[in-house]
Amino acid sequence: MPALAASLYEDWLAAGGAQPAYDQCIGYEKPLFLGGEDDISNQELSDLEVDWHIMGQVLAKVKGLPPGTPPNLKR
């Protein structure tokens, strides 16, 4: 999934989603790599810095796990 998906952005706006501010992004409520759906209903407006920080931590936890292995996201 590209970092900038213009058609998904257009779908987000058409569905009534708010245009993100400079410090916001449209991200997945449940990331695709954790079984989330690639759908507007699974998207939310998020703080850009928080989204990148959390997703970086989650990606570090799941990196290298065999497919289907549940991630241990506890500290």
Local confidence pLDDT in tens for the 75 residues of the chain: 455 677 888 899 999 999 999 999 999 999 887 888 988 999 999 999 999 999 888 888 888 888 877 777 665
**Is 54 part of a structural domain of the chain?**
yes
Enter the pTM of the model.
0.72
**Is 20 part of a structural domain of the chain?**
yes
**Is 23 part of a structural domain of the chain?**
yes
**Is 21 part of a structural domain of the chain?**
yes
**Is 37 part of a structural domain of the chain?**
yes
Give the H or E element holding residue 44. Answer: strand 43-47
Q: What is d(CA 40, CA 15) in angstroms, rounded to the nearest whole number?
A: 8
**Is 75 part of a structural domain of the chain?**
no
